[in-house]
Amino acid sequence: MKDLNRKAFEGLAQFIVVLTLLIFLPAWTINYWQAWLFLGIFSASVFTITLYLMKHDRELLARRMKAGPTAEKEKKQKTIQTFAMLSFVAIFVVSSIDHRFSWSPSFPFESIIGNILVVLGLFIVFLVFKENTFTSATIEIAQDQHVVSTGPYAQVRHPMYSGAVVMLVGIPFALGSLWGLIPVLRIIAIIIWRLRNEERFLSKNLPGYAEYRQKVQHRLVPFVW
């Protein structure tokens, strides 16, 4: 138990350190209040979710710690995850370079709106974690896994990706950048690529998922798609 907690905290700390470097090195300044505000809000939100999983769903916490291209079993998903990771990094690098050279105008309300979107997106992800203990970071079928169709899953088939998209859109705004939205569009396309592949896998390997797809028509956005 303590070993899992330690690994979770160490992984979270390393992730925040990497984000900090990805933001401040391209910006080449620490005089970047939007970045400090974002890092504080993002870190607090992710830390809170981690604490919840430690207390209420340690199996899901262990699943979520196995992430990234190397954790995927299928070759196509390894490729998808690689592109996703590079695009995620690009969001911070491009946004920070934008701040450094003032390519796009920046207003305080823009950062506030961006951070609200970040928190909202992470809150949606949190609701997904509460509803579905099988929300692995990789595409796989766990022992005793079943289709979850309640909570946010009653609205869209991939609510975690929905939350992720909201969060990702918020990041460039939180960092005071419009150019950062370009890699966001790229990662959204990658998410769509991933979820289509995931649906084919689940329909083939998870009993009841094909019927669930018929019941819940929309993938990411209620009443839209």
Q: What type of residue is 168?
A: L
Structural domain includes residue 51: yes
Structural domain includes residue 221: no
Q: How far is it, in rounded angstroms, from Cα 34 to Cα 11?
A: 24
> What integer pLDDT is reported at residue 138 of this predicted model?
74
C-alpha 108 chain-centroid distance? 25
What number is the average pLDDT over the span 157-165? 95
Q: What type of residue is 100?
A: R
Contacts 24+ apart (CB under 8 A), 144-149: 145/206, 146/206, 146/207, 146/208, 147/206, 147/207, 147/208, 147/209, 147/211, 147/212, 149/212, 149/215, 149/216
Token pair belonging to 54: 């430690």
Structural domain includes residue 220: no
> What integer pLDDT is reported at residue 2 of this predicted model?
66
Q: Is the pLDDT of residue 70 over 80?
A: no
Q: What are phi and psi of 33, to 5 degrees?
A: -65, -30
Dihedral angle of Cα 153, 213, 188, 143, to the nearest 10 degrees: 70
Q: How many domains does the chain have?
A: 1
Label residue 150 by pLDDT band (50, 70, 90).
very high
Q: How far is it, in rounded angstroms, from Cα 217 to Cα 225?
A: 8
Q: Which of residues 20 and 9 earns the better pLDDT score? A: 20
Domain at 37, CATH number: 1.20.120.1630
> What integer pLDDT is reported at residue 1 of this predicted model?
60
Structural domain includes residue 72: yes
Q: How far is it, in rounded angstroms, from Cα 167 to Cα 171?
A: 6
Q: Is the pLDDT of residue 63 over 80?
A: yes
Q: Is the pLDDT of residue 180 over 70?
A: yes
Structural domain includes residue 147: yes
Q: Are 161 and 220 in contact (CB under 8 A)?
A: yes
Largest CA distance in the chain: 53
Tell me the pTM. 0.93
Q: Is the pLDDT of residue 192 over 70?
A: yes
Structural domain includes residue 138: yes
Range of the domain at 23: 2-215
Structural domain includes residue 174: yes
Q: Is the pLDDT of residue 119 over 90?
A: yes
Q: Which of residues 45 and 134 earns the better pLDDT score? A: 45
Structural domain includes residue 225: no
Of 90-104, 122-136, 140-154, which one has max mean pLDDT? 90-104
Q: Among 40-49, 131-140, 145-154, where is mean pLDDT lowest?
A: 131-140
Q: Is the pLDDT of residue 8 over 90?
A: no
Q: What percent of the chain has pLDDT over 90?
A: 68
The SS3 of residue 134 is coil
